[in-house]
Amino acid sequence: MFFSLNTLEADAPRSWQVYFQDPATISMEGILNFNNHLTFLLIVIVIFVGWFLSFTIYYFVEYNNRYSSKFVHSKELEIVWTSIPALILLILSIPSFTLLYSMDEVSTPDLSLKILGHQWFWSYEMSEFKTCSVNQSQTLKYSCYMMVVDGLPLGDQSPSPYFRLLETNKRVVLPTETHLRLLVSASDVLHSWTVPSFGLKVDACPGRLNQVNLFIKRSGLFFGQCSEICGVNHGFMPIAVLALPTYYFHCFVAFKLELL
Ligand SMILES: [Cu+2]
């Protein structure tokens, strides 16, 4: 069930989508709430300014207002229209900084995933899992390339169960309800590992290791794309993450290591 290509459950962009993808992490839920909070405030401000503007335009015409005001300067008014926006910004900074610092919180991770950006694919490694072959030990390591869906034998399935330009030959399998640490870097140029449902966008810089926390709340198939222009095939190095409950994740790892 968890390995099926069910497009309905996939967290991928939809046609004509105008809102965010469903959140799968606490930080993305925070981003969504903050966005709603901001949008509400924005609507209130737009209505107020719009009302004020139309009021001014209406009374600007001599026909509607025969006796114009004589004053050209008002200290009280200056104080009010400077301090109110400043106060609004101050009020906004509280949830904004709370969210920002909560995302930086470093907990004790149970598992680390190393992510390396290349021109033009992503490679992943989990050093916690090792297999000892005859004379060498290997870690769980794989590279993910984009699948050219147009060339796949789809049979009579319509619409296609694959997402164009988002599918990869291998998916990054991660456990849900587990504190994960992502270590992101690049081997050649700048890349950016981005998954909208996780609220994550981590720059992959060559020679630098960026660390970020991830705690996936639910299982699902999540899609993302490289978000730092990195060359001609920048649009063709997608990210596909399959989040599985811990038990299924361990089954997957055991099966994978068997193959190494
Ligand atoms: Cu790129």
How do residues 192-219 score in pLDDT, each as one tens digit? 999 999 999 999 999 999 999 899 998 8
Identify which of 224, 177, 221 has the alpha carbon closest to the alpha carbon of residue 204.
224
- Do 62 and 155 lie in one domain? The reply is no
Q: Which residue has the tokens 């149970």?
A: 110
The CA 119 to ligand 1 mean position distance, Å, reads 8
Average pLDDT, the chain: 85
What residues does 186 pair with on adjacent strands?
A: 117, 206
Domain check: are 150 and 241 in the same one? Answer: yes
Do 248 and 168 sit in the same domain of this protein? yes
In this structure, are 77 and 128 located in the same domain? no
Stretch 99-117: mean pLDDT: 86
34 Cα to the center of ligand 1, angstroms: 28
What Rg, from alpha-carbon coordinates, does the chain have? 25
Q: How far is the CA of 228 from the centre of ligand 1 (A)?
A: 5
85, 40: one domain? yes
The residue type of 251 is C
- Indicate whether 156 and 117 sit together in one domain: yes
222 domain residue, yes or no: yes
- Give the CATH number for residue 216: 2.60.40.420
- Whether 127 is covered by a domain: the verdict is yes
Tell whether 100 and 124 lie within a shared domain: no
How many whole angstroms from 169 Cα to the centroid of ligand 1?
Answer: 18
35: Cα separation from own chain's centroid? 14
Domain of 71? 26-104
Separation CA 203–CA 191 (nearest Å): 6
Q: Can you give the pLDDT at residue 8?
A: 47
Residue 52's CB: how many other CB atoms inside 10 A?
Answer: 10
What's the pLDDT at 110?
Answer: 87
Of the three residues 104, 124, 141, the one that is the final residue of a domain is 104
Q: Are residues 244 and 188 in the same domain?
A: yes
Shared domain for 82 and 137, answered yes or no, is no
Q: Is 64 in the same domain as 117?
A: no
CA of residue 10 to ligand 1 center, whole Å: 23
Structural domain total, the chain: 2
- The pLDDT assigned to 3 comes to 47
Q: Which of 61, 84, 104 is the last residue of a domain?
A: 104
87 lies in the same domain as 204: no
Half-sphere exposure of 207 (CA within 13 A, CB side): 1
Rounded CA gap, 41 and 35, in Å?
A: 10
Distance in Å, CA 7 to ligand 1 centroid: 25
Question: Is residue 17 included in any domain, yes or no?
Answer: no
CA of 234 to the centre of ligand 1 (A): 4
pLDDT of residue 127: 80
- Residue 2 pLDDT greater than 50, yes or no: no
Give 76 Cα–ligand 1 centroid separation in angstroms. 52
Digit-coded pLDDT (tens) for 173-193 = 899 988 999 999 999 999 999
